[in-house]
């Protein structure tokens, strides 16, 4: 399957920050892009970065799309490598990854059917291309013949993490589809987006897509994906995995497999907090806190305790109308005792990765 743009010549391919490129313009720009063995799109603006990515595909070359502020080490480029990207860095420093073009494009057909995106849509990106969920969104949209845009008012589709979606829906009147990834969907985001088609997928930079659902259906493994639970942790065998990995890839998430390919993901095993012998999954507590009125975002970590081993600490952003006492009262009502934070810290802004996920490693370094 080709990784080249698929739109009609006169249709708009990219509408970004006042710059508009038709598919004819995009094809010309791709053809004129200088030939190189390895391209680097990391420092380019979105239109030029996408031109660079597709030029690399046409030339049979590789292309780096890294965070300019946190470039991972550059290993030797493996045979067949097309995209050279990095992990999100949500739990530590980003690691370099290399994938073939086919490891993405072979999932495009199923992804299109699942989401309902068409060539008539205007697909809003809500984060930088070095975050692989946004790069995937842009490459898929142009492959399909849709328009990639930063214009919220005219967007019909968006890819976003839940925290971004919660604030976005009020400003995107034409939005009909939202694709959520990066972290599990919380009740607050789901309620805000209840009028549109809401699609959630679970994946990882190392694996691409693993499971997906149209809300409110449960997550189910995609075709061709095998999964196994080992000591409570999820391992995946996938045709979409990056180069140089083992056949079975473990990404460190606590999970359950249920009949019919249903997958329940509880969160990072490394983010589990052991409170007096009871395991508290940080993401579960965060989903509860994120759904409370007055909380803009929350991060949960474990804090060492002399008697219990660890206790739960909540680091939160409050909205302008948020009241900490009211948040605590609601949390106390819905959380079990060991999951209730004993320590609360209010911050102006939590550290985030390029995709908008909370950078848990940085929170833990600062507040544990």
Residue 294 sits in the same domain as residue 202: no
| Beta partners for residue 302, in sequence order | 312
Residue 136 sits in the same domain as residue 215: yes
Q: What is the pLDDT of residue 352?
A: 84
User: Quick check: 88 and 355 in contact, CB under 8 A?
Assistant: yes
| Beta partners for residue 160, in sequence order | 180
pLDDT tens-digit profile of 37-58? 999 999 999 999 999 999 999 9
* Model confidence at 366: pLDDT above 50: yes
Q: Strand, helix or coil at 331?
A: helix
Per-residue confidence at 320, pLDDT binned at 50, 70, 90? confident
Q: What is the pLDDT of residue 146?
A: 97
Across 171-187, average pLDDT:
89
Residue 108 sits in the same domain as residue 214: yes
Residue 195 sits in the same domain as residue 88: yes
Q: What is the pLDDT of residue 252?
A: 80
pLDDT tens-digit profile of 53-93? 999 999 999 999 988 887 766 656 777 899 999 876 544 56
Q: How far is the C-alpha of 257 from the C-alpha of 223, rounded, in Å?
A: 15
More confident residue, 31 or 185: 31
Residue 6 lies in a domain: no
More confident residue, 358 or 103: 103
Q: How far is the C-alpha of 297 from the C-alpha of 299, rounded, in Å?
A: 7
Q: What is the pLDDT of residue 124?
A: 98
Owning domain of residue 162: 12-220
The percent of residues in the chain predicted with pLDDT above 70, rounded, is 95
Residue 251 lies in a domain: no
Domain total in the chain: 2
Q: What is the pLDDT of residue 4?
A: 78
Residue 245 lies in a domain: no
Element (H, E) at 322: none
CA of residue 109 relative to chain centroid, distance: 19
Q: How far is the C-alpha of 351 from the C-alpha of 332, rounded, in Å?
A: 26
More confident residue, 2 or 309: 309
Residue 164 lies in a domain: yes
Return the top range by mean pLDDT from 20-24, 96-100, 164-168, 203-207. Answer: 20-24
Q: How far apart are the first and last CA of the chain?
A: 47
């Amino acid at each position: 399957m080709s990784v080249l743009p698929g739109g009609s010549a006169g249709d708009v391919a990219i509408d970004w920050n006042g710059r508009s490129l038709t598919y004819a313009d995009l094809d010309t720009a791709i053809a004129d892009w200088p030939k190189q063995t390895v391209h680097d799109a990391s420092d380019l603006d979105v239109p030029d970065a996408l031109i660079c990515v597709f030029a690399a595909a046409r030339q049979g070359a590789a292309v780096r799309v890294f965070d300019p502020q946190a470039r991972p080490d550059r290993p030797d480029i493996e045979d067949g490598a097309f995209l050279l990207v990095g992990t999100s860095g949500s739990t530590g420093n980003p690691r370099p990854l290399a994938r073939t073009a086919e490891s993405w494009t072979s999932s495009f057909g199923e992804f299109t059917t699942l989401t309902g995106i068409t060539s008539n849509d205007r697909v809003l990106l809500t984060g930088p291309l070095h975050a692989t969920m946004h790069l995937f969104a842009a490459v898929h949209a142009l492959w399909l013949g849709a328009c990639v845009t930063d214009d919220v008012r005219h967007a019909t589709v968006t890819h976003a993490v839940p925290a971004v979606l919660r604030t976005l829906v009020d400003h995107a009147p034409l939005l009909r589809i939202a694709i959520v990834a990066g972290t599990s969907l919380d009740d607050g985001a789901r309620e805000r987006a209840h009028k549109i088609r809401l699609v959630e997928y679970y994946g990882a930079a190392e694996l691409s897509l693993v499971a997906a659902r149209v809300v409110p259906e449960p997550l189910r493994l995609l075709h061709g994906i095998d999964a196994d639970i080992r000591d409570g942790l999820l391992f995946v065998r996938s045709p979409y995995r990056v180069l140089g990995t083992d056949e079975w890839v473990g990404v460190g998430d606590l999970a359950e497999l249920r009949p019919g390919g249903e997958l329940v993901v509880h969160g990072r095993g490394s983010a589990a907090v052991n409170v007096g012998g009871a395991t508290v999954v940080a993401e579960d507590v965060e989903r509860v806190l994120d759904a409370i009125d007055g909380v803009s975002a929350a991060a949960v970590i474990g804090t060492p305790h002399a008697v219990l081993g660890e206790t739960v600490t909540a680091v939160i952003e409050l909205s302008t109308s948020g009241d900490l006492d009211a948040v605590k009262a609601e949390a106390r009502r819905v959380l079990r005792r060991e999951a209730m934070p004993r320590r609360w810290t209010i911050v102006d802004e939590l550290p985030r990765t390029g995709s908008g996920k909370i950078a848990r490693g940085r929170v833990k370094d600062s507040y544990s």
